[in-house]
Structures are given as structure tokens and as C-alpha cells.
């Protein structure tokens, strides 16, 4: 979203020929949309629709616009500098490395269990007499591990595209099936707050919860993995990113329609978390029949499983990048910088660190499926997760306004405005998340 013209170059490289933005190139955007929209996002939007009807439709749309600016900034850094995002973070000081390491270790451990459980829930609902939820969860984790382990980005992207197609068909079908009141829906595009306690914080939470956390940082890595490594791909990347969040917007708006029409009008409440979607399948079965309920559960599985394999792939790429930089520094290399070309080569996806983090996401979290989630660890997980988005937004502002970025690709006023708004939004949500934790019991 930088206000730039021309096709700037990365240092020491000849000017690449600009490529026309074309639909045939898109792919990383589909991946980031699929990964970013998990079952939790759908439930949050459903609950917003059930509680407030169409009132917060505008907030869901703004959430997509905010995430467009973040993903575009991450992709622009990778293409304009030829360096990876972790390399940029490392240039800001050692504190960024420590934050990243603690984050990916603790977050990965807890998220692994949550992702497997979320993917297992719809399978258990579809096949209730086969096995318990924890075994379905373990099965999805193992399938995700094997799939990412043995396939490079090209195959990964194709499978994600198919699963996104399933998500799209299911959510749009449900939105049409509940017969939305389009007049009320258009009125919901006006920025009005619900007349409820904590309405501002609830609204900010909906804006911030649309479409991904660390997956936004992974977008630049998927851009490189696609083979886009210089500014000649900038127009393509921007089209791809817009497609990502238009797709996300369709998912979110469709589920808000379902919440507004099916739940709000009948004054029906569902549980927060993934189990709320299982409840919704029961409501759909009563209202529209078994076929619609089963179709919804298939879409629920596609939503959860794309988030699982997306994180298994994207965050493992980031972890491998971190380890490679550390290895270069320990070896005393003259330059420990990390390039997008290295990611594009596919070597990262076969590296030991990549596969080690895959194993970390899969096997240790299985302990939590049997023993439950340790209280203190969950608090730390929540705080780190809340802190990541302001960290991402504000470090991107720093990187893209400094000499680390070629002048023609630095932020303009629009990008700076959007990233600053995003950073402040997520900082408020981070403070709320920290204040809401049960610190008395923690100590």
C-alpha cells in the first residue's frame, strides 16, 4: 500500500521487468486467507451476528482492510529488499530474536494441540461412533505432518486452494440458505456501536480477530516460496493480497449473516470456541435438514485443517529462517543476512530446522490432548499471542520507513496510517488480554 511508482530494485541487482498483475499468478494470498481464517474466527463472527445482528458488519470489513495493509507490508519488505522478515527483525536488535524464539516455542506447543483438536471436532461429529475426539485430533496432526514433510510449496498451495474452494462454497451456500435481510445488511456497513457494555472493546476484538496472526508474517515467506523474489512481482503480490482478504471478507460476512439470521432472530446462543460450530451443525440440521448440517461440518473441517497445515508449513519456514541466521552468525560468516532466493529454492522445506519445528508442532502438543492445558502456560500463551500483532505492525512501520528499505518502496502516508492504526488497535487488545488474565492465581 505504499504510494510508489516504478519498479525499484534490490541492492546490487539489475532492474527486474515489472510483471502485469494477473489472476493466473495468485496463490500465496489463497494460502494466507485459508490459514488465517480458523474455526475460532468463524465462531467469533457467528457470536457477533447472534448478539448484535448486522450492527458490526462494518467492523468485520474494516478488519479485512487492516490485515490487507499488514500482509502487503510484509510482502513488500521481502520483494523490495530481497531479505526475509526475520532478517529485518534481527536488524532492529537482539530483543526481536528473543521475542520470536520464546513466542514460537510456547505458542507452537499450545497452538498445536488447539489446531489438532479443532480439526478433529468436525470429524468426530461426522463419524461419532468411530473414535474419541483426542484420537481424531492426533490423526489430523499426523496427516498434516506427513503432508507438509513430503511436499514442497507448489503441492501445498494446490491442496490449500481446493480446501478454500470447499470453504467458499459452504459459507456462501449457508449465507444464501438463511435468506439474509439485505436492507439490514447494508445498514450494518454504517459505523455504529451496539448499545451494550464494553461495546468498544468487543468491536475492536472483532476487527482484530479477522484473518490471522503470525500467518500474516508468514505471507512474505509464501511469496518467496512461490518464486517471487524481486520488485518485478510487486503488482502481482498486491493483487494476490487483495484476493486473500476479499476471500476472507466473504467467509466472515457469510458467517455473520448466518449468526444474524439463524441465531439472533431466534435468540439462540452458542458456546464460544470450536464447540460452538458443532452446536451450529445441530441447529442447521433442525432447520434445514441433515444434508445441510453435514455439508457445514465438511466446511468446518476444511476451515480447521487449512489453518493446521498452513501453520505447520508457514511458521516452520520462519523457524528454519531463524535457525539459518543463527548458524551463519555462529560460523562467523561475513554476512548473516537471509535472502528470499534461499526460500524460493525450496531448500528450507527440506531442512532439519523446518522438520524439527514440524515435529514440535505435532508430537509434544499431543500431551495436552490427554492431560489438559496447564493454567500458567495458557496465560503465557495468551499474552504472547496478544503481543505478536502489535509487534508485527510496529516493526513493519520501523523497517519500511528506514534506510533498510529502498527509498522508492518505503511507506507512504496511507501505509503509515494503516499500519499505525493496526499497531494501536492491537496494542489496545493486547493490554485488554493481559489485564483479563487471572494473575492472582498465576502467582
Instruction: Give the distance, in angstroms, between the CA of residue 255 and the centroid of all CA atoms in the same chain.
Output: 17
Number of residues written out for the chain: 443
Q: Which letter does DSSP use for residue 188 in this model?
A: T
Query: What pLDDT is stored for residue 197 in this prediction?
Result: 67
- Give the tens place of pLDDT for each residue, 226-259: 999 999 999 999 999 998 888 888 888 998 999 9
The dihedrals phi and psi of 27, each to the nearest 5 degrees, come to 180, -60
DSSP 367-432: HHHHH---HHHHHHHHHHHHHHHHHHHHHHHHHHTSTTS-GGGS--HHHHHHHHHHHHHHHHHHHH
Query: What pLDDT is stored for residue 3 in this prediction?
Result: 40
For residues 424 and 204, is the Cβ–Cβ distance under 8 A?
no
Non-local CB neighbours of 172 within 8 Å, separated by 6+ positions = 250, 254
Non-local CB neighbours of 81 within 8 Å, separated by 6+ positions = 10, 11, 88, 404, 405, 406
What are the counts of helices (DSSP H) followed by strands (DSSP E) for the chain?
A: 19, 0
- Give the tens place of pLDDT for each residue, 40-56: 778 888 888 888 889 98
- b/e per residue, 322-356, with b = 16+ CB within 10 A? bbbbeeeeeeeeeebbbbbebbbeeebbebebbbe
Q: What is the mean pLDDT of each run of 10 residues along the chain (443 residues)?
A: 40 50 83 86 84 89 87 96 93 93 92 93 92 95 97 95 94 92 89 77 74 83 94 93 88 90 81 79 92 94 95 96 86 66 89 96 94 77 85 96 96 94 88 82 71
Instruction: Give the distance, in angstroms, between the CA of residue 314 and the centroid of all CA atoms in the same chain.
Output: 10
Q: What are the C-alpha distances in Å from 341 to residues 78, 148, 225, 345? A: 10, 20, 9, 6
Query: What pLDDT is stored for residue 46 in this prediction?
Result: 85
Q: Which run of H or E residues covers position 193?
A: none
Q: What are the C-alpha distances in Å from 213 to residues 67, 209, 293, 299, 304? A: 9, 8, 29, 21, 15
> Hey, what's the torsion of the CAs at 370, 100, 390, 422, to 10 degrees?
-100
The rounded distance, in Å, linking the Cα atoms of 83 and 99 is 20
The dihedrals phi and psi of 299, each to the nearest 5 degrees, come to -65, -35
Nearest Cα to 124, choosing from 304, 372, 286? 304
- b/e per residue, 393-408, with b = 16+ CB within 10 A? bbbbbbbbeeebbbee
Q: Is the pTM of this model over 0.85?
A: yes
Q: Which run of H or E residues covers position 164?
A: helix 153-177
Query: What pLDDT is stored for residue 335 in this prediction?
Result: 54
17: helix, strand or coil: coil
Query: What pLDDT is stored for residue 37 in this prediction?
Result: 83
Query: What pLDDT is stored for residue 10 in this prediction?
Result: 41
Q: What are the C-alpha distances in Å from 367 to residues 80, 113, 121, 176, 373? A: 42, 8, 18, 41, 9
Query: What pLDDT is stored for residue 13 in this prediction?
Result: 41
The rounded distance, in Å, linking the Cα atoms of 238 and 347 is 26
Amino acid at each position: 500500500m505504499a504510494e510508489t511508482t516504478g519498479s525499484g530494485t534490490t541492492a546490487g541487482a539489475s532492474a527486474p521487468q515489472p510483471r502485469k498483475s494477473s489472476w493466473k499468478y495468485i496463490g500465496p494470498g489463497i494460502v494466507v486467507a485459508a490459514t488465517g481464517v480458523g474455526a475460532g474466527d468463524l465462531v467469533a463472527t457467528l457470536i457477533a451476528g447472534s448478539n448484535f445482528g448486522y450492527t458490526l458488519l462494518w467492523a468485520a470489513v474494516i478488519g479485512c482492510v487492516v490485515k490487507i495493509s499488514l500482509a502487503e507490508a510484509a510482502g513488500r519488505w521481502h520483494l523490495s529488499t530481497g531479505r526475509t522478515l526475520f532478517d529485518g527483525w534481527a536488524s532492529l536488535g537482539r530483543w526481536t530474536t528473543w521475542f520470536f524464539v520464546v513466542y514460537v516455542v510456547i505458542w507452537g506447543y499450545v497452538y498445536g494441540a488447539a489446531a489438532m483438536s479443532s480439526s478433529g471436532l468436525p470429524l468426530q461429529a461426522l463419524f461419532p461412533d468411530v473414535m474419541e475426539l483426542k484420537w481424531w485430533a492426533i490423526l489430523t496432526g499426523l496427516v498434516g505432518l506427513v503432508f507438509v514433510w513430503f511436499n514442497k510449496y507448489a503441492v501445498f498451495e494446490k491442496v490449500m486452494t481446493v480446501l478454500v474452494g470447499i470453504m467458499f462454497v459452504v459459507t456462501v451456500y449457508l449465507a444464501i440458505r438463511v435468506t439474509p435481510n439485505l436492507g439490514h445488511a447494508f445498514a450494518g456497513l454504517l459505523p455504529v456501536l451496539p448499545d451494550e457494555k464494553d461495546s468498544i472493546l468487543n468491536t475492536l476484538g472483532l476487527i482484530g480477530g479477522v484473518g490471522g496472526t503470525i500467518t500474516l508474517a508468514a505471507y512474505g515467506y509464501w511469496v518467496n516460496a512461490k518464486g517471487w523474489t524481486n520488485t518485478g512481482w510487486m503488482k502481482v503480490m498486491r493483487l494476490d493480497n487483495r484476493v486473500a482478504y476479499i476471500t476472507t471478507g466473504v467467509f466472515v460476512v457469510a458467517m455473520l449473516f448466518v449468526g444474524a439470521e439463524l441465531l439472533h432472530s431466534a435468540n439462540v446462543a452458542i458456546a464460544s470456541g470450536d464447540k460452538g460450530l458443532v452446536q451450529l451443525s445441530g441447529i442447521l440440521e433442525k432447520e434445514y435438514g441433515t444434508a445441510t448440517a453435514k455439508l457445514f461440518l465438511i466446511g468446518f473441517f476444511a476451515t480447521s485443517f487449512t489453518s493446521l497445515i498452513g501453520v505447520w508449513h508457514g511458521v516452520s519456514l520462519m523457524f528454519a529462517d531463524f535457525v539459518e541466521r543463527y548458524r551463519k552468525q555462529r560460523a562467523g560468516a561475513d554476512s548473516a543476512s537471509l535472502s528470499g532466493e534461499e526460500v524460493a529454492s525450496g531448500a528450507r522445506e527440506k531442512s532439519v530446522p523446518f522438520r524439527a519445528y514440524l515435529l514440535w508442532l505435532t508430537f509434544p502438543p499431543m500431551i495436552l490432548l490427554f492431560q489438559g492445558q496447564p493454567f500458567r502456560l495458557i496465560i503465557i500463551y495468551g499474552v504472547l499471542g496478544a503481543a505478536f500483532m502489535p509487534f508485527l505492525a510496529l516493526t513493519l512501520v520501523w523497517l519500511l520507513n528506514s534506510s533498510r528499505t529502498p527509498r522508492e518502496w518505503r511507506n507512504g502516508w496511507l501505509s503509515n496510517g494503516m499500519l499505525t492504526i493496526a499497531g494501536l488497535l492491537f496494542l489496545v487488545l493486547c493490554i485488554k488480554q493481559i489485564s483479563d488474565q487471572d494473575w492472582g492465581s498465576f502467582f
